[in-house]
């Protein structure tokens, strides 16, 4: 079965989609990624779609679902490298991709994740969530 690799970089997971996505592969990625977030307690997910020339409504919804599931598992999601034609298509389809933060490239996406995760950790510390005495 075809799978998209999921790389771990510290507290983050990196997914680079290098093949044309089809529905079955998108669902497999959704399952694999949510399982991996849970296994490693990832705090952020970066999905690089710069190689995708086409994103249909199903793939768009699947990306939104991944972001929602990641959020429930306490991980932020950022999608990077969206081609202009893909962005135009998603807007024309009326898809707003709720819960998905976008960035132009991997570097900007990782910077966003680092800042967001650091912000969450600071707010957790300020609210007294740490259990050390």
Per-residue pLDDT band at 131 (split at 50, 70, 90): very low
CA distances from 106 to 32, 43, 50, 81, 132 (A): 21, 16, 10, 7, 35
- Higher-confidence residue: 132 or 91? 91
Can you give the pTM of this predicted structure?
0.87
CATH code of the domain covering residue 75: 3.30.750.24
pLDDT of residue 83: 93
Is 73 within the bounds of a domain?
Answer: yes
Quickly list H helices, 3-131: 23-40, 57-72, 84-92, 106-126
Phi first, then psi: give them for residue 37, nearest 5 degrees: -55, -45
Q: Which domain holds residue 54?
A: 6-126
Q: How many domains does the chain have?
A: 1
Q: pLDDT-based confidence at 13, cuts 50/70/90?
A: very high
pLDDT at 132: 47
Residue 58 falls inside a structural domain: yes
**133 in a domain, yes or no?**
no
Q: How far is CA 48 from the centre of its chain?
A: 8
Q: What is the DSSP letter of 92?
A: H
pLDDT at 96: 78
How does pLDDT run across 34-71, given as a tens digit for each residue?
A: 999 999 999 999 999 999 998 888 998 999 999 999 99
Q: Give 93-124 pLDDT, tens digit per residue.
A: 888 777 789 999 999 999 999 998 887 666 66
């Amino acid at each position: 079965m075809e799978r998209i690799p999921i790389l771990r970089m510290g507290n983050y997971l990196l997914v680079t989609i290098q093949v044309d996505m089809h529905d079955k592969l998108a669902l497999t990625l959704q399952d694999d990624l949510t399982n991996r977030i849970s296994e490693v307690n990832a705090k952020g997910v970066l999905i690089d779609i710069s190689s995708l020339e086409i994103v249909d409504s199903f793939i768009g919804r699947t990306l939104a679902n991944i972001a929602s599931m990641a959020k429930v598992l306490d991980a932020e999601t950022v999608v990077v490298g969206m081609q202009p034609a893909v962005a135009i298509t998603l807007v024309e389809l009326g898809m707003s991709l709720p819960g998905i933060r976008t960035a132009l490239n991997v570097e900007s996406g990782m910077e966003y994740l680092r800042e967001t995760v650091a912000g969450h950790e600071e707010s957790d510390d300020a609210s007294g969530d740490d259990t050390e005495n």
